[in-house]
Amino acid sequence: MDTKTTNTNTLSRLTAGQCPVCGSAESLVHFYGKTLPVTVSGLSGTVSDLAGEHCQVCEEIFLDDDSAKRFANAGDALVMETRRSEGAHLKALRKRLGLTQGEVGLLIGGGHNGVSRYERGQSDPGPAAFNLLHLLNKNPLLAGELPGVMVTKVSPQKRHFAATAKAKGFKPNKVIHVGNEWVVINVCGSDVLGTGSRAGKRTAATKEVDVSRLVAAKAATERPGGPHAKRTAAKSAVAKKAR
């Protein structure tokens, strides 16, 4: 069973007593005071006092304008609640890894402001972001395999990690416990990193490109008699012949 709103075409067919989906005539039954469930991403609720038409053949439901708006608003509310819940979960994963919003922004995209919106539930980062952070929470040392990410061992013993972290320029809240060690994950290139992480900053090598050669090659393909011009002429000839 599906729930549909009544657009102009649907309304005209409903007025004629014909189901807009299956086309059955005289199969529609008017209802009011009906309660329907609404489900979004594992969250569910109900909307009561709905009115509309119900097809007895295909079981489709067509809500009137007021009911459709209330049903849609309920769905939107569940979407926002899902985002708030996922945002809180994303924040918890980030903090367990000792990462700042700026660092996570470099990993999953969106920057500092984007991650802030994700954590407040204002936008959705997508499943790939959660999958990455879940994987890193299972094994934080895997972060060192990512480009531009460094994992630094601070101290093998808990009682020494705070002093060692401070001496190396790391903030204590960035130090996380992995097995029998205490480490710091740094995403290089973030503006929010401290001096300790900047000392080990890695930058990707820039590949030098002969721009003049690329420009000349592009111009050659577009000049009269060039490959691009020949292909265009051939297509035009085929089109004229077809006409």
pLDDT above 60: residue 52:
yes
Give the pLDDT mean for 54-72: 90
Confidence label for 82 from pLDDT (cuts 50, 70 and 90):
confident
Share of the chain above pLDDT 70, in %: 62
Residue with tokens 């001096």: 195
Q: Which domain holds residue 157?
A: 140-191
Residue 152, in any domain of the structure = yes
pLDDT, the chain, mean:
75
User: What SS3 string covers the chain?
Assistant: CCEEECCHHHHHHHHCCECCCCCCECCEEEEEEEEEEEEECCEEEEEEEEEEEEECCCCCEEECHHHHHHHHHHHHHHHHHHHHHHHHHHHHHHHHCCCCHHHHHHHHCCHHHHHHHHHHCCCCCCHHHHHHHHHHHHCHHHHHHCCCEEEEEEECCHHHHHHHHHHCCCCHHHEEEECCEEEEEEECCCCCCCHHHHCCCCCCCCCCCCHHHHHHHHHHHHCCCCHHHHHHHHHHHHHHHHC
**Model pLDDT for residues 111-156, shown as the tens digit of each residue:** 889 999 999 988 888 889 999 999 998 888 888 888 888 887 776 5
Residue 124, in any domain of the structure = no
Residue 218, in any domain of the structure = no
Between 59 and 199, residue with greater pLDDT: 59
**pLDDT number for residue 192:** 34
Among 10-24, 140-154, 207-221, which range has the highest average pLDDT? Answer: 140-154
Residue 176, in any domain of the structure = yes
pLDDT above 70: residue 23:
yes
Number of domains in the chain: 1
**pLDDT number for residue 119:** 92
Q: How many CB atoms lie within 10 A of CB 71?
A: 19
Residue 128, in any domain of the structure = no
Residue 171, in any domain of the structure = yes
Between 157 and 65, residue with greater pLDDT: 65
Residue 151, in any domain of the structure = yes
Contact between residue 83 and residue 122 where contact means Cβ atoms under 8 Å apart: yes
